[in-house]
Structure 1
């Protein structure tokens, strides 16, 4: 999810750059300059970047799920016919070689296991962890229990699929659920793998943040469902709102949409937490995550108000300048909201594993939190100055510099 946040920010930057570049070319076009013919084709390159990132992001969030569901449905019979048994046999052989401490044969076996057709996401992570442990020459004895747990989970999935096929029961969203278990980090099997891993590999008692970060993986699909439900509700009430509400219809509907989405996501996820044996402790820690979501919601509503003001305030500026003012407000909305989204996703991914990365802590939590706090203070001070463009520009520059720094750090951190 950190990568999706970066893609959204990059798309917005490129979109603003496209319009600025178009305005720059317009000056040459009016003068019939040869430079216009020289630089005009580069607009297509910028557009290509924009559409490639948009398609990639949309595919990651929405279309990717549909494709994965269709792929799982298509391969189900093949899984049951042969591939479940192949995977279970491959894992059992891996377990035997692990116990015998035959590292060379174990390496060859892991190479074969990596080529298996049926590889759910929790098994992929297990194999990657085992390969990394071999490369780093770590003790491998702890992986015996993890492989055993993985075998039991796959055998359970196989039995579930067979029973569904034999009884021919019509279970609501069965295919969606099985595809989610196979592909998603929020699946119970993926979370269970990390919980087992933390129990086994952590020398000290697991802290509550590790436990909570695993449960927070469920919130990603919950947020998407909450947004879709809220969007449908707002579409249904919009015709009525237009007649009942005399002014500021956009702000009221937008605020309702954001508020309802956030509340629904928080309540929905907290219900999952209450089912956990450690719910009393986890709920207290989860308040930090919920607070970040609420701050994001408040920031979005604030941005929507500023966007509407930009559209409604009459100015003496030309149309092109008004367009840029609108685009910069949209850019501010995306960059500022992305700051807290980045903090939110980093919190989840940072505490998910046993090992703590201080560089990621600074890059993904501390620095963006400071940046958001600074721009919020500037915004509060700016209210007394009737929205000075100077302070608005300072905020944009601060956030832009941070995101440029993130792009530069990404190849180094690989996270």
Structure 2
């Protein structure tokens, strides 16, 4: 096992990685910005090093400062968490060039899947279903218009290098496409340094379902990729997830077998190692699914898979990175029960606008099947410099009905005051007939508002 680990992230995910590392006897090093010096993950690491001011570009995305911290601390491995540098192929290569272990997939896989157009083409070649769309960047609006004429409106206009629900717009006709094309391209150039645009079929009613995969090099030298079930991620605002659950209430046993097999083919196609997620769109009317993207890192919502499959995905990541095989039998993976994750954000529960501030009260719920992965505590301040995620409330039960019932109680028992908070939204959602029925799609939040 890895002896010492630098966690190149912050908040709840840094704290969560540190927790597993300590259970395994791994010494941990936290890097943090000046704004985060008082957060729990900093205090809980064996060593903490400030890598810059609040601006992420000068701290959590400062590869030079992070590598200097690894050298100064004697850390032998780097876990990037999610966001920041987690899907930066150049950073992964730099980490390995420094003689450190990168806890993630190979840089080539990150690079191959980082461009949405290239990823679509690779997946299509591997026999993974993809929605109708462009196979080359739409370099001019006339190219986009021609593609839309072939695909049929409405279409999705996407930043090819984007992620996290950013750099996306829907166009219902030529006029809308002309307007959105320039906006998306400008946004992509500003945010990702790449103005490439993808035109793809848009589904007015669709579900967002993803598959957790894990890849490794087995003792016999063979490459193994397994799928640890699917997660339903259709409760979203601004194309960004708020709730995830596993298993998906929309998936039949036959469809599940097809979906998981496709995800494994996706991983094999890029020689994928470590944890990753294959995201798909599911047409609830036809039962067809289409590849959306691959996230070459640990997902925010990984705990629901952990609870359903009884595994610690961070431990599996560390083992695979160290050249060890997983703790579980890949041929005997058995899901049990149901799990739901709610993202507790510092945001208005009606319009979902950020509302950072000092936390004056914080009391986490407890009970059977209740888990809280938190990045904050009472007396701390949620600053405006980073994502608004404060904690993840994860509940599990023998079935979906029990998980929902426990979630209702946990939401009511979660005391949080100071910043704006979306707990009232979850209380409403968990009683909403559409969500309770399981027959919902990515438009559910809009219909609730």
Q: Scaled by the length of structure 1, what TM-score is found? A: 0.25
Higher radius of gyration, 1 or 2: 1
More strand by share: 2
Q: Scaled by the length of structure 2, what TM-score is found? A: 0.24
